[in-house]
Amino acid sequence: LLTDEIARLTLAAHAYLADEEGKQPDMQSAETAIDVAAATFERVKERLRPEERLAITQLLTETRMVFVKKRGL
């Protein structure tokens, strides 16, 4: 259940970072979603199966990389 919520938060961050016509990415909301997802993951990661831990780690890393690239523009 918490893994689903972490995934939803990272997907929300991607949505906030999306370049839509006439609309700038919402960096503050994206950063908040990433921070909440990461904090949730840190609290529960020891209870997850190794493959779940790896998948979420990769998802968070990818999301952070997109955020850093967008912020750098």
Global pTM?
A: 0.90
Tell me the C-alpha distance between 23 and 50, whole Å.
39
- What are the pLDDT digits (tens) for 24-65? 999 999 999 999 999 999 999 999 999 999 999 999 999 999
Q: Are 19 and 46 in contact (CB under 8 A)?
A: no
Tell me the C-alpha distance between 48 and 30, whole Å.
25
Which H or E run contains 1? none
